[in-house]
Amino acid sequence: SKFLEEDPAGFISPEKYYTTELQVQAAVNGTYTGLDDIFSTDIGVAVSPSFSLEYLTGYSYRLRPAANADNQFLRLDPIDPANGYLENWWKAVYYPMENCNSVIDNLGRTTFLPESDKKKYLGEVYFLRAWYYFMGVRLFGDIPLKTTPTTDFNNVHIPKAKQAELYNQIVADLKMAEQSGLPWTDASGHVSLGAVKSLLAKVYITMAGYPLRKGNTYYQLAYDKAREVISSQQFSLFASYGDLRKNSLKNTGEHIFMLQRDLANAGNMLHFALMPFPDLPITIQPAYGGALAPRLEFYQSFNAADHRKGEQVFFFTEYPGFNNPTHIIPLPVPLIFKYWDEQAEQIGKTGQNFPYLRYADVLLLCAEARASLDGGSTTNTFAIDAWHQVHRRAFPGSVKPAQLHVNDVLKERFWELCFEWHTWYDMLRTRKALNTTTGQIVDLLGYQAPNHVHPFSEKDLLLPVPLSEVQKNPLLK
């Protein structure tokens, strides 16, 4: 009867949506919300699934006591499928992916928007779907592939797809995004053509390496795509490392794609989580740190002359007391300075963006792809120049070499991109590690990283599918 009908006022039913461009914009904006899913926190202090990715490398540790779930990543123990972080990472792939599927499906059927506008909106969403799947396939390997919205909630058991199939979808989505008419850069932080091409380069070089090992064809594709980004001259390295942390320079210069944060409504937890533990009074709110610190071995693997090792560049070993600048407080161990926010130090809140793709990454990808393509070392000046731009900032006045070995590029990546959530992915696709004792690139398998209790073996390279998901979908066994 009419009396019992429901007509909610606080939310919109999807059936009544997609009638105006502003609605479309809001739906597209919604597909970005998944980008910060891994930075979720729970009631534990300085606990977040996102740190697992850095714990796995073995180059970092946790100052605060760790619970079992963190310990498995920190120690490289076999990861229990019941480990709760697995669920966080898994959901960070599929929940946002469903938003993307829904927008792609619904927007595809609307007719009121001009085709070119529609394509642009879809371009953003295709990029993000590729982003989420790329994260999932690298961490978990074969996982279900789903590109349409869920309509049937009874037949929900989707089988795993092969990694090659997933990568094909990722490439296809990124190609759609590439053709969608997006601008090269976007100062507000939306997906830009630069971001699309950079990610595509990253996908290609990953496909060239492990586990697909598609080799030179894909190194070539990666090189070409990275070169396109570089040649566009839309991006440039910041002169000073300090600029990387400057909120005023967000989404510009070196920053190609970022997780957008805001002081009032979407804070960044990293400034606080990376503070010293036990507390030191170097900031207004020193109580919640201790999540992540570099292992001393890794810190010491930097060349003494490397600017990145310098005080308050990537790391710090002492800091003035809060409101007491003349009192310098030594830290018991070197800590990460990459996310230090001077504003947060004063007011206890930070709205600093988190870099997801930066130009240094693309430059190094370009060099690595070329060196790999050329059989391990290259004399290609474009590639050497790309690498040297990054290297020169750390070692001003260093001379550009005539030949570049792929291991030089990898080393540069370990140092340049450390603690930016890239290292584990690099280790997976190259199956190489930085031996912190010798400073040399070594095979990943058999190498024991400073914080691990076991050397890496094949079984450590993929995260198990979360137990709870296997229980809900036996096809994931």
Partner 1 sequence: CLIACMAIAQEAPRLQQVLIDLTARNRPLDKILQDIEAQTQFRFVYNSAELRAAGSVTINRKRINVEQALHELLPAGLEFRQRGYNILVLIKEETAGSAPNKDFLVSGRVVDAAGQPLSGVTVSAGNSRRATVTNEQGSFVINASKNESLEITSVGFEDITVAVTGQPLQIVLSPNRRQALNDVIVIGYGNLQRKRLSTAIATVSGTQLNERAASMNIVEAMAGKVPGASIMLNSGKPGSNPSIKIRGTGSINASNTPLFVLDGIVGLDPMIIDPSIIQSVDILKDAASAAIYGSRGSNGVILMTSKQGVKNKSNIIFSNRVSIATLAREIDLLDAKGALEMIERQYAYMPGRLAPHKDPSNDFARKDELFYPDGTPRYNINWQKEATRTALSTNSSLTFTGGKDNMTSLVNLSYKKQEGIMLNSSLQQINLFANLGWEVKPWLHLKTILNGGGLQSRNVDLNSLGFNAIREMYEYLPFIPVKYSDGSWSRKGDYPGAENSENPIRLLNEVRSVTGQTYVMGNITGTIHLNKKIDLVTIFSGQLGGAYNNYYSGKDVFGFSDLENGIAQRINGNAGAWTNEDYIMYNDRIGKHKFNALAGASWYFNVGTSTFAGAENFFDDFFSYNNLGAGTVRQTPGSDRQQNQMNSFFTRVQYDYDNRYLAGASFRVDGSSRFGANNKYGYFPALWTSWLVSAEPFFQRWLPAVSYLKLRASLGVTGNAEIGNYATLSRLNPTQVIFGGQQQPAVVLSNPGNRNLKWERGEQLNIGIDASLLNDRIAFTAEVYRRRTTDLLYIKQLPATTGYGGIYDNIGSIRNQGLELSIRTRNISGRNLTWTSGINFFLNRSNVLHLNGDIIYNWAGRIMEGQPTDQYFGYYRTGTWSTAEAADAAVFGRKPGDVKWLDRNKNQAKDAGDRVPLGSKMPRYQIDFTNTFSSGPFSVFIDVSSMLGHKLANFSRFIMESHTTSVNSYSAILNAWTSDAQHTSLAQLRLQSDGGENEMDNYYIEDGSFVRVRNIAVHYELQPAILKKLKMEKCTIGINAENYFLFTKYKGFDPEATSFDGDLNQGVDVYQYPKPKTLSLVLQVTF
The footprint of partner 1 on residues 160-199 (CB under 8 A) is 187-190
Applying CB under 8 A, which of residues 40, 41, 71, 435 lies at the interface with partner 1? 71
Touching partner 1, residues 417-446 (CB under 8 A): none
Contact between 128 and partner 1 per CB under 8 A: no
Applying CB under 8 A, the span of 19-27, 228-236, 401-409, 436-444 interacting with partner 1 comes to: 19-27
If the CB atoms of residues 111 and 248 are measured against partner 1, the closer one turns out to be 248
d(CA 183, CA 189): 12
Map the footprint of partner 1 across residues 22-51, applying CB under 8 A. 22-23, 25-27, 29-30, 32-33, 43
State the minimum distance, in angstroms, from the CB of residue 116 to partner 1. 21
Site for partner 1 in 346-365 (CB under 8 A): 347-349, 351
Q: Interface with partner 1 includes 149 (CB under 8 A)?
A: yes
* 476 is a contact residue toward partner 1 (CB under 8 A): yes
Largest CA distance in the chain: 82
The token duo for 125 is 């969403």
State the angle between helix axes of 68-75 and 84-109 in degrees (0 to 180), rounded to the nearest 10: 90
Of the residues 38, 46, 56, 66, which one makes contact with partner 1 according to CB under 8 A = 66
**Part in contact with partner 1 (CB under 8 A); list of ranges 151-159, 226-234, 363-371, 405-413:** 151-159
Q: In 28-59, which positions are buried (b, 16+ CB within 10 angstroms) versus exposed (e)?
A: beebbebbbbbbeeeeebbbbbbbbbbbbbbb
CA distances (Å), origin 6, targets 3, 9, 11, 12, 31:
9, 10, 12, 12, 28
Of 285, 343, 377, 435, which lies in the binding site for partner 1, with binding defined by CB under 8 A?
285
Nearer to partner 1, 71 or 220 (CB): 71
- Residue 209 or 290: the one with the smaller Cβ distance to partner 1 is 290
Q: Does residue number 80 form part of the binding site for partner 1 (CB under 8 A)?
A: yes
Nearest alpha-carbon partner for 365 in 224, 215, 258, 463: 224
Structure tokens at 68: 């079992």
SS3 at position 441: strand
Nearest CB to partner 1, comparing residues 281 and 401: 281
Nearest partner of 229 among 423, 124, 350, 359, judged by Cα? 359
Among 156, 304, 399, 402, binds partner 1 (CB under 8 A): 156
> For partner 1, which is the closer residue by CB, 10 or 396?
10
Residue 265 lies near partner 1 (rule: CB under 8 A): yes
Alpha helices in 348-449 (DSSP H): 359-373, 381-394, 406-416, 423-430
The answer to whether residue 399 forms part of the interface with partner 1 (CB under 8 A) is: no
Q: Whose Cβ is closer to partner 1: residue 65's or residue 181's?
A: 65
Residues 412 and 383: their CA atoms lie apart, in Å, by 14
What's the rounded Cα separation, in Å, for the pair 61 and 71?
10
Of the two residues 110 and 216, which places its CB atom closer to partner 1 in the complex?
110
In contact, 370 and 382? CB cutoff 8 Å:
yes
Q: Give me 118's structure tokens.
A: 């529609």
Query: Is residue 216 involved in binding partner 1 (CB under 8 A)?
Result: no
Q: What are the two backbone dihedrals, phi and then psi, of residue 320, each rounded to the nearest 5 degrees? A: -65, 150
Between 101 and 372, whose beta carbon lies closer to partner 1?
Answer: 101
The DSSP secondary-structure symbol of 33 reads G
Nearer to partner 1, 119 or 261 (CB): 261
Looking at the Cβ atoms of 10 and 325, the one nearer to partner 1 is 10
- Side chain identity at residue 102, one-letter code: S
Q: Considering the complex, what minimum distance in angstroms separates the CB of residue 97 from partner 1?
A: 7
Q: How far is the CB of 8 from partner 1 (least distance, A)?
A: 5
Written in H, E and C, the secondary structure of 290-345 is CCCEECHHHHHHCCCCCHHHCECCCEEEEEEECCEEEEEEEEEEEEECCCCCHHHH
Binding to partner 1, residues 454-473 (CB under 8 A): 467-469, 471-473
Shortest CB 290 distance to partner 1, Å: 8
Kindly state whether residue 323 participates in binding partner 1, applying the rule CB under 8 A: no
266 near partner 1 (CB under 8 A): yes
